[in-house]
Structure 1
Amino acid sequence: MNKKEKLSMASTDWISELPDSVLHHIMSFMKAKAAVRTCVLSKRWKHLWASLQHLYFDSTEFEGTQNLRRQEHVRRYHKFISRMLQERENIDVHTFDMKNLYEWHDDDNERARAEWISYAVFHKARVILLTMYHWSNLPQSIYTCTSLEELQVYIGGPDPIIYPTRVSLPRLRSLDLDSVDHQFLELVLTQCPDLESLSLSYCSGIDLSGMPFQNLRKLAVISCTMLSAAGKLSLPSLESFSFEGSMSTLRVMGIESMPSLTYAYAYFYVDEEEDTDASFNNILRALTNARKLEFFFYGFGASIRDSLKEDLQKCPTFFNLAELCINRCASLHMTARMLESSPYLQKLTISQDEYNNDKVAIKDAFLKSMYLNTIEIEVWRHYSTVKPLIEELVESLEGRNKLFNIILIIHKYDPGPIIDEDFNTLCSSLAQQNPQIKLSYKLNS
């Protein structure tokens, strides 16, 4: 290839040579303003934005660009959205994502936003993601959008719920709502026969036990309050379950079985009055089919810890469990009981700090875990806080023939060293005397 040909190759705009479908895919990751600005690149790009099917509006795109007062900032972005929708080609919308706009709660902007949402519905949007301020400006047509496959609605203000007059969402697969009540859920969920993913945040007085969840694969319940379950909650197809709240709230949900469960995450914060009656053992029984479990505990006092110890004497067996994370664990006793009840566990993640001084030995539990090959220990302060645990682990692992990894995950938020000379000495000793035990650390970013 001669010099002229090389220069020609170097000056070729290879990106613009890509087909429209590929360029549209690239632009689908852009926010609306950035996507429109591609029109200045060349004639090839001039009208590409007008046929985008993924529309992502975010008011932060205009922030910091000019020294504008808030009112002028809102007016310009309002005008931009309206004009963009007017100049788009008359084609269907795939994704309509309107985030970071909840602070625009004057009447004119709310009415305009209702018009924009109606535009998405009219153009057969499949995914609609919204942040609203008033329920009254959510058009009723969104509840009868037969093309809709995913809907996410967050209400930014303390606004009374407006219930849909009619619901028909035959294609809806994913629903994400916050701050709704039982009546609203019942109206919507009974008309979503093929729902596969449901996320509920800060909802009040709900009962899921009577809902049609035969096809549900993913469920998240975050900081919700529950009515006493009218019946048992059966989730035969559920694969992923996430929960944040008190143990008593999870108990009230009335979960009976989750035979298809592969992953469960539970963040428990304590209600001292209610949680003394909550059976952690019964909660565990609903999770026995999981392959990966993550437990986070916050604010557990001595009375709750004692209750857990007693409850875990009859811990169910987890035959499928391969990964277990017990973060800010209530006690090493819980870790030991879970280890003894998980015969095929391969990876364990626990956290210890100076505020958790339970002296229960777990050496026997580690000896019984024949398939365990990796232990991660999260550290928030100094290596000395976990040194006794590391030494006990090393002692219990001596004589094993297979490689075993012990990894410290370091969350560093204080100045000063976390890893000290004691740690380095132990690493050197293991490398020489017990090479089958590998001790290392990594920083958590």
Structure 2
Amino acid sequence: MAIRPHRGVLPQVNRYACLMVPTCAARQLFDRTPLGIKDEAKWTPSGPDGISALPDDVIHHVLGFLPAHDALQTSALARRWRNHWKWMHSLGFAAVSGSVSVVVLKRLVDRLLLDIRAPLDECVIDIQGLHELTEEVGRLIRHAVSEFHVRVLKVSLERQVVSGHPLVSGNLVRLELHHVTVKGTILDFSSCTALEDLVMTRAHIHATKISSPSLKRLRMKKCYLFPSVYSATCISAPSLVLMELDDLSVTTPLLERMPMLETAFVRLGHSWTFRCELCPTWLCCGVCAGCIKFYLMELGSLSSARHLELTAPSVKFTVLRCPTFSKLTTLLLNEWCLAADFGALSCILQHSPILEKLTLLLNQAQQETYNTMEQLPTISKCLKVVEIKCTKLDDRLYDFLKILKIFLGREHLRYNLTSGQTEIPLKV
């Protein structure tokens, strides 16, 4: 099997470093010729080899550094090695289209499913191409979770479909899904009682719900959320402490209550056009219940956050039912909050009684004319710093800052203006 480096999303530590070297180099771990002896005639195989003298548990740990194909081949080294590979603590299964026949890979999967005995600390599955292996990969994923009792599972499948009924595990703590297409109810983790971390990157999600009562950290980056006929994708994670939704496209997710949330980073991407069942034409109004369901994110589920970042290329958040952010101390927003004479900004600030720092990202020149010249009636007495981050300085920006200062009032507020990496003294 041709061995290739994992994409950057998978290896976070060096335990799979040998996946990044040729197979022959990996086999040198078990070469009986000691390092430094170039003349093989001076070394006789009758002498003891160092690695065989190691305790079994150490050998099982070392085998976890090898790709599955090479780990299995160690069974031919000696009689004592016949079953060591079955007890390795980690499993790495990687294959690239054209590297080896599909028949061989299917046999390898069957052998792994049949013979691995030990609970796995970590399992990495990285398949590029090879859509003929979809069924075998699905079996390997479910077997790793239910039979191998894996604690950390990392899957990268280059747009292969993962579907079926929900996973069941009392051991799975961390799950990573990269470049996969997800369908059905497999993202219902209510039966994965130990799951705390879920990471998804560049995934195509055709699911009505992502749910987990135990999940504490959720990270989604560059994912596409495809809605059902009746609803957008719902995220239900009542134990969530950290949520990072970075560049989500097609539709916005529907968030359920998150009473333990401390930090939320939400950066929404561009939406696709879907017909709203409540609008008479294809041109959605953007404010009715049907449009809100697909295109706008309500903020009620984020009300427990202490640190909040909400950015979008246009208005994607609705403040029609703005909650009270009773714990919020730091807030970052971009241009979307300035529309309609600071309407959204005004609403959020008036519902953030202990806010200490406000940051505004102004990546575009302010073309809109603001009519508000009145001071905001109520604002957090704890607010000390307003930071403005922009990519370009021009007269329109300074005009905007003058209006903003009148709007916020509070003479003792400190205003910081940052353009690129340079902090500029603000005089307005």
Deviation at 1:261, TM superposition (A): 1.0
Supply the AA of the counterpart residue of 1:350: L
Match of 1:349 among 350, 359, 383: 359
Are the aligned partners of 1:250 and 1:283 in contact in 2 as well (CA < 8 Å)? no
Match of 1:284 among 294, 299, 308: 299
Q: What's 1:124 paired with?
A: 119
Change (3 A) 1:337 1:118: same
Of 146-155 and 86-95, the range deviating more from structure 2: 86-95
Q: What's 1:224 paired with?
A: 225
3-state SS, counterpart of residue 131 of structure 1: strand
Change (3 A) 1:130 1:348: farther
1:146-179 Cα distance to aligned partner (Å, 9 max, x none): 431122323224x565747x96522112233431
Supply the AA of the counterpart residue of 1:83: D
Q: Distance in 1 between matches of 2:265 and 2:157?
A: 25
Q: What's 1:270 paired with?
A: 271
Are the aligned partners of 2:196 and 2:216 in contact in 1 as well (CA < 8 Å)? yes
Q: Distance in 2 between matches of 1:26 and 1:248?
A: 34
Residue correspondence of structure 1 range 31-430 to structure 2 within 5 A? 31-33=18-20, 36=26, 47=51, 51-52=61-62, 55=65, 82-83=69-70, 85-87=72-74, 90=84, 92-97=87-92, 101=96, 106-108=101-103, 110-111=105-106, 114=109, 118=113, 122-132=117-127, 133=129, 134=131, 135-138=134-137, 139-140=139-140, 141-157=143-159, 159=160, 161=162, 163=164, 168-177=168-177, 178-185=180-187, 189=189, 191-199=191-199, 201-208=203-210, 213-220=212-219, 222-227=223-228, 228=230, 235-243=237-245, 245=248, 249-251=252-254, 255-268=255-268, 269-271=270-272, 273-274=275-276, 276=286, 277-278=291-292, 283-298=298-313, 300=314, 312=319, 314-329=321-336, 331=338, 333=342, 334-360=344-370, 364-365=375-376, 368-382=379-393, 384=395, 386-392=397-403, 399-400=411-412, 404=414, 406-408=416-418, 410=420, 427=425
Q: Distance in 2 between matches of 1:230 and 1:281?
A: 10
Q: Distance in 2 between matches of 1:342 and 1:406?
A: 21
Change (3 A) 1:84 1:320: same
- Structure in which a larger fraction of residues adopt helix: 1
Supply the AA of the counterpart residue of 2:257: S
Are the aligned partners of 2:185 and 2:209 in contact in 1 as well (CA < 8 Å)? no
Are the aligned partners of 2:331 and 2:355 in contact in 1 as well (CA < 8 Å)? yes
Change (3 A) 1:229 1:219: farther
Are the aligned partners of 2:207 and 2:233 in contact in 1 as well (CA < 8 Å)? no
1:314-368 Cα distance to aligned partner (Å, 9 max, x none): 5222111122222453535233332232222223232214454234358835982
Are the aligned partners of 1:235 and 1:258 in contact in 2 as well (CA < 8 Å)? yes
Are the aligned partners of 1:295 and 1:327 in contact in 2 as well (CA < 8 Å)? yes
* Alignment coverage as a number of residue pairs: 350
Q: Distance in 1 between matches of 2:27 and 2:101?
A: 28
Identity %: 17
Supply the AA of the counterpart residue of 2:265: Y
1:1-57 Cα distance to aligned partner (Å, 9 max, x none): xxxxxxxxxxxxxxxxxxxxxxxx9963744456959968779x9859965365376
Structure 1 runs not aligned, ≥5 long: 1-24, 58-80, 412-418, 435-445
Deviation at 1:125, TM superposition (A): 1.6
Change (3 A) 1:394 1:145: same
3-state SS, counterpart of residue 386 of structure 1: helix
Q: Distance in 1 between matches of 2:115 and 2:375?
A: 60
What TM-score do the two structures reach when normalised by structure 1? 0.61
Are the aligned partners of 2:365 and 2:392 in contact in 1 as well (CA < 8 Å)? no
Change (3 A) 1:406 1:52: farther
Supply the AA of the counterpart residue of 1:155: L
Q: What's 1:13 paired with?
A: none
CA RMSD in angstroms comes to: 4.6
Deviation at 1:231, TM superposition (A): 13
Q: Distance in 1 between matches of 2:375 and 2:390?
A: 23
Supply the AA of the counterpart residue of 2:302: L
Change (3 A) 1:56 1:326: farther
